[in-house]
Structure 1
Amino acid sequence: MRVEHGDCLEVLPRLLAEGVLVDSVVTDPPYHLTSIVKRFSADNAAPVKVGKTGAYARSARGFMGKKWDGGDIAFRPETWRAVFDVMKPGAHLVAFGGTRTYHRMVCAIEDAGFEVRDQLAWLYGCGFPKSHNQHGDWEGWGSALKPAIEPIVLARKPLCGTIAANLQAHGVGALNIEACRIETEGDLARWPANVIHDGSDEVLAGFPDTQSGLFLPHHRARGVGRIGTFEIRDRSGEEHPTYGDSGSAARFFYSAKATADERFGSKHPTVKPLDLMRWLCRLITPPGGLVLDPFAGSGTTGIAAMAEGFNAILIEREAEYIADINRRIAHVTGAGGLAAIEMARLDSDEARAVAAGLDTPLFGEAA
């Protein structure tokens, strides 16, 4: 794995000069959640001098007072053009965004030359509503909803010819559907959807176990289960296999929020779940491929890429997060190897039991 400490706008041209071309980009850029207009138009705001507005704005603080979330780097087409230039033709990009600022990032990505292919939604139930509740005649009214979704853009650098021709020439251009199918208890696995959830009660409640609207009138179900497969029969009497997880959250990929153990001590405020990042890397990266993250943060993309057998280039500007990345890489490549990644997904008590050899082996019975 290659870790670059620096601004991606300075590092990416250097990679291009070296002839580096990546197979995919998986990244979680700054969301720029605090409006520049809001920060600098208030009566008590610091004055903005003529000729200094852009520099002053870009040095401002954003999410949780972090300087890296200030400014507008994820909203600039030139940022994504620099990313575009180091990607193979047909390579895919996935990038997280904030619900209030996602549109600005996606427009910049499109303006840089990418084709916007889809939007994925990561649903979670642990968000906290930051609402200003009203009183008096307006009791019960507020200013915000509870956050429960992060949008993810799926974009692609234009192909050279057809998908088949591009795959033959460059080894990228398609999605790894088979490796990302949603497992069920039966033999059939679901086609991956553009929805990911954290398994929380709040999210699961939004997908009740119902069959309503699934079948055309001439179909009738024979034995319906929550998860697994069952059969339906049409008027001809012919049976067709289908899925027993219809209408429930089991239709979608499950990935909980990052746990404390999974963070490996990182203080980064927006660490993404390892399973989520592994799934995204797997979706758009060919076997043995090279993943780029120009906004590496705590390095979860790199750890996920390693776990999936990919190589990675991580670019991070903040020194404190470079330390996080190096510590996490050392942890998973040390004595425990990549097994440490799986250990991080266990509760700490369970992890200690496994380490002590007190738990059931992961792969069958002990010899």
Structure 2
Amino acid sequence: MPIPKFDAGSPRELASVMHGDAWDLLRNFPAATFDSVLTDPPFAIGLTKNEYGRPHWDRSKIALDPAFWQEVRRVMKPGANLLAFGHPKTFARMSVAIEDAGFEVVDCLALIHGQGFPAGFRHLDGELNRVGATDIAGDYAGFGNMMRPALEPILMFRNKSSRESLASVIAAGGVGGLNVEACRIPAGTEDRSRTPGLVNSNQTWRVERPAGTKSTPPSAGRMPSNVLLHHAESCAEDQCVAECPVGQVHEQGLASRGRNEDATRFYQTFFHHPKATKDERPEVDGMSGPTVKSLAVMDWLVRLATRPGQLVLDPFAGTGTTLEACARAGVRSIGFEKETAYLPLISQRLDRLV
């Protein structure tokens, strides 16, 4: 299969998809081809086990295999960023597999949202009654077997060893780094300057500041954090619903310590549903992806971890959200997709970029 070539004449021509197994397609590429990898791999939890007629891609354990990530690392340039979505049940195993492949751990981003249903939730009193343990069922009234999912981890790694400095890797012809300035959190126009209290000299960490000097947020905005907050799907532009994480953090900040401060100012917030809006979700002949990522989040990740003109790999393209986000940012991308059923969804998504 020929490696795609790019013509930057239009956003559509910045993105390309290759049909096949990620293992096989990776072998077509020479070492040090890609400037970054941004992907949403299978979670190895059987997420779509009840969705008959759909590809059961998420049963694959490929993302838990260090040998796979070693092959991914081979095609990445030194210093290149790797960002991979995970699932709370399996992301720890995936993280170990990636680290065992030789990557340096950088961070773990927490994508927090207000939507989510605990598939498989059971009331324990009812379950005990069902299995005949009626004598103790009453003791478990109000107990269940799981919690509502509200966290999606995003693992961040770098293609270098911990013994190397990023600056030395880049100076030797590598790539990498995070575009902090492009992702700063707006500081707002309100006056948040204040004179902090005295710092105990015995503290192990403290900010050195002359006595009486006010602290003020940076004019360019705060540094991006590793916590991303999603508004709930039913939020309005000027009103959050009760289950919205953004609204809850906002209210807690106003009540905390009597300062009437909005605590959401410390985090990135996205006014999109975590599973993507209907407009962002391709559908062909009744087929759509079960875990489509929000384009707003993918736009932010591309802006953070890449730069225009670079080449990004997504080994598990799905419906092509990574490819669209890259094209919107002027970044070239190649996606691998094994499931034939998803190819028309990718084409529909990319065709609207023309």
Deviation at residue 319 of structure 1 after TM alignment: 0.7
The CA distance in 2 between the partners of 1:88 and 1:296, in whole Å, is 20
Q: Does 2:306 correspond to 1:285?
A: yes
Secondary structure of 1:209's aligned partner = helix
Of 243, 249, 260 in structure 1, the residue corresponding to residue 278 of structure 2 is 260
Alignment of 1:23-172 (within 5 A): 23-34=35-46, 62=49, 64=51, 66-130=55-119, 131-135=121-125, 136-137=137-138, 138-158=140-160, 161-170=164-173, 172=175
Residue in structure 1 matched with residue 290 of structure 2 by the alignment: 269
Q: Hey, what does 1:204 align to over in structure 2?
A: 246
Q: Distance in 2 between matches of 1:171 and 1:121?
A: 28
1:231 match: none
How far does residue 280 in structure 1 lie from its aligned partner after superposition? 0.8
TM-superposed deviation, 1:278: 1.1
Shift of 1:92: 0.7
Distance 1:190 1:275 in 2: 19
Corresponding residue for residue 266 of structure 2? 251
User: Partner of 1:291: helix, strand, or coil?
Assistant: strand
Quote the Cα distance in structure 1 between the aligned partners of 2:77 and 2:269: 30
Structure 2 alignment gaps of length 5 or more: 1-14, 126-136, 190-218, 233-240
Q: Aligned letter for 2:146?
A: A
SS of 1:107's partner is helix
Partner SS state of residue 152, structure 2 = strand
Deviation at 1:30, TM superposition (A): 0.5
- TM-score with structure 1 setting the length: 0.70
CA drift at 1:173: 2.5
- Structure 1 stretches of 5 or more lacking a match? 36-60, 214-220, 227-244, 334-367
**Equivalent residue, structure 1, for 2:223:** 191
* 1:6 match: 20
- From 319, 324, 328, give the equivalent of 1:298: 319
How far apart are the structure 2 equivalents of 1:97 and 1:120? Answer: 10
Q: CA deviation at 1:269?
A: 0.3
Displacement after TM superposition at 1:253 (Å): 1.2
With normalisation by structure 2, the TM-score equals: 0.73
Amino acid of the structure 1 residue aligned with 2:37: V
Q: Once structures 1 and 2 are overlaid, which stretch shifts more, 260-269 or 83-92?
A: 260-269
Distance in 2 between residues matched to 1:292 and 1:172, nearest whole Å: 14
Describe how 1:171-182 pairs up with structure 2 within 5 A.
172-182=175-185
SS in 1 for 2:182: helix
* 1:210-240, Cα deviation, whole Å (9 max, x unpaired): 4857xxxxxxx9xx675xxxxxxxxxxxxxx
Residue 211 to residue 174, structure 1, CA distance change in 2 (3 Å): farther
The structure showing larger relative contact order (alpha-carbon pairs under 8 Å, at least 6 residues apart) is: 2
**Pairwise CA RMSD of aligned residues?**
2.3
Aligned match of 1:314: 335
Distance 1:144 1:32 in 2: 19
Secondary structure, in 3 states, of the residue corresponding to 1:4? Answer: strand
Query: Is the CA contact (8 Å cut-off) linking 2:32 and 2:78 kept in structure 1?
Result: no
Number of paired residues? 277
**What is the CA–CA distance in structure 1 between the aligned matches of 2:173 and 2:146, rounded to whole Å?**
46
